[in-house]
Each structure stands twice: as structure tokens, then as C-alpha cells.
Amino acid sequence: MIGTPLSYNATKILLVGSGELGKEFAIEAMRLGIEIISIDSYQNAPAAQIAHKSYVIDMKNKELIKSIAYKERPHYIVPEIEAINIDALLELEKEGFNVIPNAKAVEYTMNRINIRRFAAEKLGLLTSKYKFASSLEELKLAIKELGLPVVVKPVMSSSGKGQSIVYKEEDIEHAWYIAKEKARGDAKEIIVEEFINFDYEITMLTIRTKNQGILFCPPIGHIQVDGDYYESWQPHPMSGELILKAQNIAKTVVEALGGYGIFGCELFVRGNDVIFNEISPRPHDTGMVTMISQNMSEFEIHLRAILGLPIHIRLLGAGASYCFHAKEDGIIPAYENIEEALSIPDTKVRIFGKPITRKKRRMGVALALADDIDAARKNAKKVAESIEILEKPL
Ligand SMILES: Nc1ncnc2c1ncn2[C@@H]1O[C@H](COP(=O)(O)OP(=O)(O)OP(=O)(O)O)[C@@H](O)[C@H]1O
Ligand SMILES: [Mg+2]
């Protein structure tokens, strides 16, 4: 059979960013026979391992991204991460390419200044109080106005990088330096936000569709450690009134951003208030739980929304996800103990296939389905903790 040409559905997708979320999206696309071309900044990224074709480039390089788009001429350009040269996407869209959900939504959501001002000042949504600062002096002044504690964040970063909570004045200088050091890009400003002592936080997965209006997944509860997601579950128990409030906020933002696809709207709930935090114009890491809790995962939903295919979301039970992380730097990982881990019924493991470890790097996720959230969380945690990451023998 060597030399037999592969046969594809006529559709071609250029996936910009090839991490674990991109890999699951690519699998869903391949199930419909779609051709996947992936791009990332390093070799053997999770989605690149399964893409029909992959490129390794500097994702900040506008001309390189554009030249691949022109060479491949995809039907859709699907950004998977925030760290992309945004001018490339803005220009490609102007030149007739279909960027998902659209280049403006990607631009707004990658920068905390844009999305915060858009949500609070243009859309009038409730957010934490915030200020921007471009020097240590300005940061001190901002904190004086907001009052301690505050959360200090780079304007461009993800997974909690460069983010810290300032409880006392002595911590201000440190917060300033790590926000500057860990920031992505060369923004002069940082954002400082009132610390919200929320009861819980959720992701409202919200889908903008061509033919079915706006759809929602049941709310996903989650726990972040140092700003990075560790655990999520679905459905998060909430009153009907609070769910409606959350859906209304998510809908307002998604309608304003436009385009088709799934969005992960992050919200804090404190008493009767639902407070907007931020939004991803793509599947959300906390939404990995949908790989077990729903009849359709967030990845399949994103694909269907992009293609204009019908979407019917059904919850299968109480689901939970629990991530497992590398403990050491620089090893080629091998995973042990999977047999024991999966001895619990209704559990699954997704190993992302990242080619090398970094301390605290997210390497995989355990998934569990049960009759109630507590049992699902307990099982997902047990599975995740059973898995050992060892150095692969040569
Ligand atoms: N103003 C705040 N008050 C209380 N907690 C906050 C606040 N801002 C952020 N957090 C906590 O830190 C977590 C991460 O913050 P945020 O979502 O703003 O950035 P991020 O996770 O780095 O971005 P991304 O979701 O793109 O990876 C939140 O999910 C929340 O748990
Ligand atoms: Mg976040």
C-alpha cells in the first residue's frame, strides 16, 4: 500500500498551537476525515504527533505564519494558544482567510487590558476593580486606591504565569518584578485587580453557532493552584438564578466577540454576584472534563460549531478531571502504573505526549464519571495520583 494517497474530506484546518487541547481537537477533526496541518514552536508537540503535516516555527514571526497559511490554503485557521503573532491573524483574515472565531476575538482575549476594558467599560459587566500600572510607583499608587489584597498579573500571560497576590506592602516590589519577568511579549503595563474572595469559580462553556444560536454546557467548577488549573468537575451545583446570571454574562461577551466556536467564560461567584474574569475564544483547559461528562466533548463541539454541524449537548453523569504534573525538569517521560490507575470503573487517562518534562508541567489528565461530584472527584484524583512519571529507559 506504500504510496497510496491519503484520502481526506475536502476540508483542511490549520491549527495554530499544538498542545493537548489542539490534539483532542485534531482527533475530533480527523474522525470526520478533515486534514489537519499543525504549527507550534517545538518539535513533536502533542497535536503535531497526530497531524497530517506539521511545522515548527517561531510563533511570533508574522511572515512565517502567513507564508504557511498561503502555502496550505486552509479552510479554517484555528488558534489553539494565546502566544501567536496577532498581526498575522488580523492580516490573514483581511486577506480572506477564515480565522476562528475571528481575529478580533483572538486579539481582545489575549491581552488583559483589552478584554477587561471591553467587558467592564463597553459591555458594563461586573468585574473585579482594576487599574493598570507601567512603573513600580504607579503600581504602589494603584494598590493604594484599590486597597490590599490585590492580584498583580502581566497583561499577557497564561496558566498563572507572573501572577501573584499581594497581601502586604512589602510584597509589592516582588509582585512587580515577577509580573514583568514572566510576561509574554513586551507590554509596558501590568494589571492590578481587587482580590475577589469568591465562594467558587466556574467556566461557562458557551457556544456560538450558525444555526442554533447560543448554547451552553452545564457549569464547570474548578480549582486553580497558583493560577494554574489542577482539577475541574461538571456540573457545578448552582441555583437556577445564578446559572442564568452566568449564562447572560457569557452570552453578552460571546455575542460581542462574534464568530463561531466554543468559548470558555471564566466567572467568580460570590454570594449572589457573578463576576466576569476572562474568556478563551477556544476550548478551555478546565473543559477537559467534558471528555467524560458529556456526550460531546468541548473539542467535538468546537469543531461542529466551526463547521455549522448540529450540536446536542447531554450530560452523562457527574464528571471530574484531575491533572498530573511532572516533578522533574528535562526527562523524556514514561508513564507507569496505568493498569492499577484504571482499575477504578468509569475512569480514563489522557496522556498528552509532551516530549520532555519541565517541573510542574502538565503532562496528562485523569477523568472520572460517577453518580455524584464527590465520588467523581475522588476517583479522578486517585487515578491521577497513581500514575508515575519516570525517565524513559534508553
Ligand atoms: N481578582 C482575582 N481575585 C481572586 N482570584 C483571582 C483573581 N484573578 C485571578 N484569580 C485566580 O487566579 C486564577 C488565574 O487567573 P486568570 O484566569 O486571570 O489568569 P490565567 O489563568 O493565567 O489565564 P489563563 O486562564 O489564560 O491561563 C483564576 O482562575 C483565579 O483562581
Ligand atoms: Mg484564567
Shared domain for 381 and 262, answered yes or no, is yes
Nearest atom within ligand 1 for CA of residue 198: 4
pLDDT tens figures, 363-379: 999 999 999 999 999 99
Shared domain for 240 and 292, answered yes or no, is yes
Smallest CA separation from ligand 1 atom 11, residue: 227
Query: Taking a C-beta distance cutoff of 8 angstroms, is the pair 309, 339 a contact?
Result: no
Shared domain for 240 and 314, answered yes or no, is yes
| Ligand nearest to the Cα of 21, by number | 1
Active site includes 162?
no
CA-based R_g, the chain, Å: 21
Share of the chain above pLDDT 70, in %: 98
DSSP 216: E
Q: Does residue 107 fall inside a structural domain? A: no
Shared domain for 187 and 234, answered yes or no, is no
Active site includes 286?
yes
Question: Which amino acid, one-letter code, is at 377?
Answer: R
Q: Which of 157, 163, 202, 275 for mutating ligand 1's site (highest number of atoms within 8 Å of CB)?
A: 163
Residue list, ligand 1 pocket, CB within 6 Å: 128, 151, 153, 157-160, 163, 193, 195-196, 201, 224, 227, 266, 277-278
Write down which residue in 99, 121, 144 finishes a domain. 99
* pLDDT given for residue 8 in this prediction: 62
Helix (H, G, I), strand (E, B) or coil at 388: strand
Shared domain for 218 and 364, answered yes or no, is yes
Share of the chain above pLDDT 90, in %: 91
pLDDT tens figures, 6-33: 556 789 999 999 999 999 999 999 999 9
Query: Taking a C-beta distance cutoff of 8 angstroms, is the pair 201, 221 a contact?
Result: yes
Q: Does residue 119 fall inside a structural domain? A: no
Query: Taking a C-beta distance cutoff of 8 angstroms, is the pair 158, 185 a contact?
Result: no
pLDDT tens figures, 226-240: 888 999 999 999 999
CA of 278 to the centre of ligand 2 (A): 6
Please count the structural domains in the chain: 3
| Ligand nearest to the Cα of 223, by number | 1
Query: Taking a C-beta distance cutoff of 8 angstroms, is the pair 16, 65 a contact?
Result: yes
CA of 160 to the centre of ligand 1 (A): 6
Q: Does residue 245 fall inside a structural domain? A: yes
* pLDDT given for residue 21 in this prediction: 98
Q: Which helix (H) or strand (E) holds 178?
A: helix 172-181
Q: Helix 103-110 to helix 240-257 angle, to the nearest 10 degrees?
A: 120
Shared domain for 173 and 229, answered yes or no, is no
Write down which residue in 55, 80, 99 finishes a domain. 99
Instruction: Using a CB cutoff of 5 Å, list residues around ligand 2, an ion.
Output: 266
Active site includes 278?
yes
The domain that holds 181 is classified in CATH as 3.30.1490.20
Query: Taking a C-beta distance cutoff of 8 angstroms, is the pair 54, 68 a contact?
Result: no
CA of 268 to the centre of ligand 2 (A): 11
The domain that holds 259 is classified in CATH as 3.30.470.20
Q: Which of 285, 298, 304, 321 is catalytic?
A: 285
Shared domain for 67 and 185, answered yes or no, is no
Shared domain for 39 and 54, answered yes or no, is yes
Q: Does residue 44 fall inside a structural domain? A: yes
pLDDT tens figures, 83-105: 999 999 999 999 999 999 999 99
Q: Does residue 180 fall inside a structural domain? A: yes
Shared domain for 354 and 272, answered yes or no, is yes
Beta-carbon contacts of 36 under 8 Å, excluding residues fewer than 6 positions away, are 12, 13, 15, 26, 29, 30, 47, 50, 51, 52, 53
Q: Does residue 363 fall inside a structural domain? A: yes
Q: What is the 3-state secondary structure (H, E, C) of 255-289?
A: HHHCCCEEEEEEEEEECCEEEEEEEECCCCHHHHH
| Ligand nearest to the Cα of 226, by number | 1
Domain that holds residue 387: 200-391
Q: Does residue 257 fall inside a structural domain? A: yes
* pLDDT given for residue 1 in this prediction: 47
Q: Which grid cell sits at 362?
A: 502538565
pLDDT tens figures, 124-139: 999 999 999 999 999 9
Shared domain for 187 and 219, answered yes or no, is no
DSSP 17: -
Where on the phi/psi map is residue 96: left (φ > 0), alpha (ψ -120 to 50), or beta? left
On the question of pLDDT at 78 being above 90, the answer is yes
Q: Does residue 116 fall inside a structural domain? A: no
Beta-carbon contacts of 386 under 8 Å, excluding residues fewer than 6 positions away, are 337, 340, 341
Once rounded to an integer, what is the mean pLDDT over residues 328-346? Answer: 96
Shared domain for 161 and 229, answered yes or no, is no
Q: What is the 3-state secondary structure (H, E, C) of 307-373?
A: HCCCCCCCECCEEEEEEEECCCCCCCEEEECHHHHCCCCCEEEEECCCCCCCCCCEEEEEEEEECCH
Shared domain for 267 and 387, answered yes or no, is yes
* pLDDT given for residue 4 in this prediction: 55
Q: Which grid cell sits at 1?
A: 500500500
Helix (H, G, I), strand (E, B) or coil at 238: coil
Write down which residue in 173, 194, 215 finishes a domain. 194
The domain that holds 32 is classified in CATH as 3.40.50.20
